[in-house]
Structure 1
Amino acid sequence: MMRNKCVGGGNLVTTSCSEKERLALVKFKHSVEDVNGMLSSWGIGNDCCRWERVGCDIVTGRVVSLHLRANSSDEDYMAGEDDWPDGHASLVNIFDRYQLVGTEVNSCLADLENLKHLDLSGNDFQFNQIPRFIVSLKQLRYLNLSNARFHGNIPHHIGNLSNLKVLDLSSWSYLKIDNMAWISDLSKLEHLDLSGVDLSRTQNLDNLLYAIPSLLKLSLSRCGFSLAHLVSHHLNSSKELVSINHLDISANNFRGQLPSFVLNMTSLVSLDLSYNHFSMAWSFKRFINMMSSLLELRLSGCKLQRINLSPHNLNYSIHSNIQHLDLSLNEIDGKFPYVLTNMSSLLSLDLYANSLSSSIPVIPNLLKLDISRNKFQQIEDVRIWEQCYLKELIVSNNELVG
């Protein structure tokens, strides 16, 4: 008789999980402090496929997924700046709901030989190293160890997980990589997030741009590396850039010219350059025209006042498909950047925390506009809200009268 759906994975299984795998999960449960009962169903009955957060193969009953992400809110991740130890964000009291706490990830999970999906993100492993036994889980397609308070070097042996499609090791600067040579062995990888990992002394860093042809999404925010470090001077010019769709290199304090490899990424759909200080000698118009594939561009906190966004650019010909543009937290003051009115593809525009004070022109097709924390004073300056197509207008922290 066909079994009911198992609680954790939502699969119809025709056999119970093996005794070996059941015992492995029970042992793992006993190896951690289970804050608020994330694993409260583990141990109830003999069929681990019925336990919450456990997914099993439909036919064999083998455990194929563990969804052990801590249930916590993003806004709790960082304490105040004065509380940061050694310049790193404090993670004290951030997980007020489900979380696992342990000194290590118990190696009993190695008995789950068919595991394809492992998510331990947001838990607290108390600054221990990423366990090496994980590389024995050869079937893994998805591995998420983000913000789990691991510490030290990311083991090169992760390169042995050749079936990985998603790898998320993002953290709050507790992890580092000394050599990126192993990444080229992950030939099926599509999504890589190393945000917050210390890459300042990483060798072969340019492998991220050239060695994984399947890579579609790359996040390198807050990694502390330089552009010269990322793009090797000895790089063979015949190598082709990977076909990345989403690239995040925000908050690395880059300086100088906009990197040429970005302009050569013709498949980019989303680009985040926020909180860097590129030389503003480059032309905003030229940049936008060259990035014709972009749908989302984030330039928050880039000190863009020096970019020529002045009214005489009104007749600029801009060939853009950008739908979402973030220019928040810059130094754009005075008159509204009229060059933006030629971007008819824009659906969302974020100008939060600038110093704009002039009237806002019509921006065709715009659905969302954030002009909060600017210097608008007259209600007439923001009359764009009367246009019926604008679905959301945010004007807080201005001194509007009239």
Structure 2
Amino acid sequence: MLRMSVSNSDSRSMSCSESDQEAFIDFKDGLEDPDNCLSHGKPGPIVVSGMKPSLTKLKSLRHSDLSFNGFNDIPIPEFFGSLVNQQYLNLSNAGFSGLTPPSLGNLTCLQHLDVGIFSSFAESLDWISGLVSFKHLVLDGANLSRIESDWMEKLDGLLSLTELHLSRCNLCAPNSTSLNFSNITPLALVDFSYNMFNLKAPLVNVDINRSGLHGRIPLCFTKLPNLRFLYHFGNDLRASCPQFFRCSWKKIQELGLDSNELHGKLPASIGNMTFLTYFDLSGNNVQGEMLRI
């Protein structure tokens, strides 16, 4: 069954060009539409017997939602990368499988892409660098275990990004010594949950200020012996001070943990951070006095 929502850039006008009408009719020839939903521009159950690339001829097409369908594990069609005017493309839970086509990187007008598909995979994220208008990226569940460890550099070029969802992707740890989103100033939400980062990597700088993070502060950060700069300002992250500061940060120089949900008493082990020059815990529920370091 297929539920499809498509629209052009002008919601006030239901008319389209003759060439668009012909392209849409050709696309419909591959579908069984007993309730004539496509003709009336309304969502409804449609039986799929094929998918023609005639969608690429719809020059006014801006918004396509194919989510929550049953495409019987067919690959994501390569021709989606030719929908050059597309601004919104949602393929999540649509029954696609296999390789996420790098041709999606041709969609330079694309602002929202959701390919959260548990049976899909990507071999590289190089194609993302062409999506200069990108604001919202969802790859939840896609298998990214094959991509190179420089994926962080690829994301760092998406300067308009506001939301990033990479949950359950089998991501490897980035090869960079810095986990830093400071170049992506609009970024409001990041989700890396349920990945298996190998945080024995020599991370020196972790900057996730104002990243819309919630829940417990990952204790794996406390096992980074080379860490020198950690900035968690303005998130909604929880941790107890005795547990969080039971760490091996002998080289730490700056800790910005203000405006989170740290609680409890500061342990005496903070006195071992002899290189610490900046420490901000304001906006937390921390007890005890700061010891001289």
Cα deviation, 1:115-170, whole Å, max 9, x if unaligned, reads: 11111111121111111112222111111111112111111111111111111111
Aligned to 1:278: 220
Aligned to 2:11: 11
Aligned to 1:246: 189
Output aligned runs, 1:189-208, within 5 Å. Answer: 189-203=134-148, 204-208=150-154
Shift, 1:253, TM fit: 2.6
Query: Gaps spanning 5+ residues in structure 2: where?
Result: 1-6, 247-255, 266-280, 286-293
| SS of match in other structure, 1:17 | coil
Amino acid at match of 1:52: K
Relative to structure 1, the CA distance from residue 43 to residue 181 in structure 2 (aligned partners, 3 Å threshold; closer, same or farther) is closer
| SS of match in other structure, 1:157 | helix
Q: Does 1:216 align with 2:215?
A: no
CA contact (8 A) 1:253 1:277 kept: no
CA contact (8 A) 2:81 2:103 kept: yes
Aligned to 2:94: 148
Cα deviation, 1:266-319, whole Å, max 9, x if unaligned, reads: 3x331257797726457xxx99x932232x3489xxxx995469xxxxxxxx96
* Bigger RCO of structures 1 and 2 (CA < 8 A, at least 6 apart): 2
The counterpart of 2:56, out of the listed 94, 102, 110, is: 110
More strand by share: 2
Give the fraction of aligned pairs with identical amino acids, expressed as a percent: 29
Structure 1 distance, partners of 2:89, 2:195, is: 25
Bigger CA radius of gyration:
1
Amino acid at match of 2:30: S
Shift, 1:215, TM fit: 1.9
| SS of match in other structure, 2:151 | coil
CA contact (8 A) 2:124 2:147 kept: yes
CA contact (8 A) 2:138 2:166 kept: yes
Shift, 1:256, TM fit: 3.5
| SS of match in other structure, 1:28 | helix
More helix by share: 1
Relative to structure 1, the CA distance from residue 108 to residue 240 in structure 2 (aligned partners, 3 Å threshold; closer, same or farther) is same
Relative to structure 1, the CA distance from residue 344 to residue 241 in structure 2 (aligned partners, 3 Å threshold; closer, same or farther) is closer
Structure 1 distance, partners of 2:51, 2:214, is: 33
Structure 2 distance, partners of 1:144, 1:275, is: 31
Structure 2 distance, partners of 1:209, 1:238, is: 10
Relative to structure 1, the CA distance from residue 27 to residue 275 in structure 2 (aligned partners, 3 Å threshold; closer, same or farther) is farther
Relative to structure 1, the CA distance from residue 104 to residue 200 in structure 2 (aligned partners, 3 Å threshold; closer, same or farther) is farther
Q: Does 1:160 align with 2:150?
A: no
Normalising by the residue count of structure 2, what TM-score does the alignment of the two structures yield? Answer: 0.67
Query: Gaps spanning 5+ residues in structure 1: where?
Result: 1-7, 45-50, 54-97, 310-317, 328-336, 347-402
The counterpart of 1:264, out of the listed 207, 221, 227, is: 207
Q: Does 1:291 align with 2:267?
A: no
Normalising by the residue count of structure 1, what TM-score does the alignment of the two structures yield? Answer: 0.51
Structure 2 distance, partners of 1:260, 1:153, is: 31
The alignment of Structure 1 onto Structure 2 pairs a total of residues equal to: 250
Amino acid at match of 2:85: Q
CA contact (8 A) 2:104 2:127 kept: yes
Structure 1 distance, partners of 2:101, 2:107, is: 12
